[in-house]
């Protein structure tokens, strides 16, 4: 639905299309509303670095959202998303409990995932709105 709204915004409202903004918005929508693997963050990282350099006032928001995005995948129940990534260094990492199991003793990890995903989705939407609002006021390419 978000991708469709983005498409119709570009079609009907935006007369000076800046593809860079649309690529960032597309990736943020995908990551905010999906169950993603941590390696997928490599797809959006170059865009976020460029955006942080071009618009320094968004850098703190981008940093916080990036840190949050890195916290979400280790909370999945899948071992390959957390301690399994360290197995290439030593098989002893297979003996460690996953963060899911460790957090399960204190709090429900599914609720924590939902909270983090909600914050990531809200922050991404705010970032997208600021990105397009800033592009409309500047009339310049990023």
Question: Per-residue pLDDT tens for 86-130?
Answer: 888 888 888 888 889 889 999 999 999 999 999 999 999 999 888
Give the domain range for residue 64.
2-138
Nearest Cα to Cα of residue 135 among 13, 43, 3 = 13
Q: Is the overall model pTM greater than 0.85, yes or no? A: no
Q: How many domains does the chain have?
A: 1
Q: Give tens-digit pLDDT for 129-141.
A: 888 887 665 544 5
DSSP alpha helix (H) spans, 33-139: 41-54, 59-71, 99-104, 109-138
């Amino acid at each position: 639905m978000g991708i469709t709204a983005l498409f119709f915004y570009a079609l009907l409202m935006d007369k000076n299309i800046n593809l860079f903004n649309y690529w960032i918005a597309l990736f943020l929508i995908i990551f905010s509303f999906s169950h993603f693997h941590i390696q997928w963050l490599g797809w959006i990282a170059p865009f976020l670095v460029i955006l942080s350099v071009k618009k320094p006032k968004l850098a703190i928001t981008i940093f916080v959202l990036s840190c949050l995005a890195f916290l979400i995948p280790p909370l999945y129940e899948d071992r390959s998303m957390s301690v399994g990534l360290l197995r290439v260094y030593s098989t002893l990492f297979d003996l460690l409990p996953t963060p899911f199991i460790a957090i399960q003793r204190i709090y429900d990890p599914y609720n924590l995932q939902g909270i983090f995903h909600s914050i990531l989705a809200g922050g991404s939407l705010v970032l997208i709105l600021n990105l397009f609002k800033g592009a409309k006021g500047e009339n310049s390419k990023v």
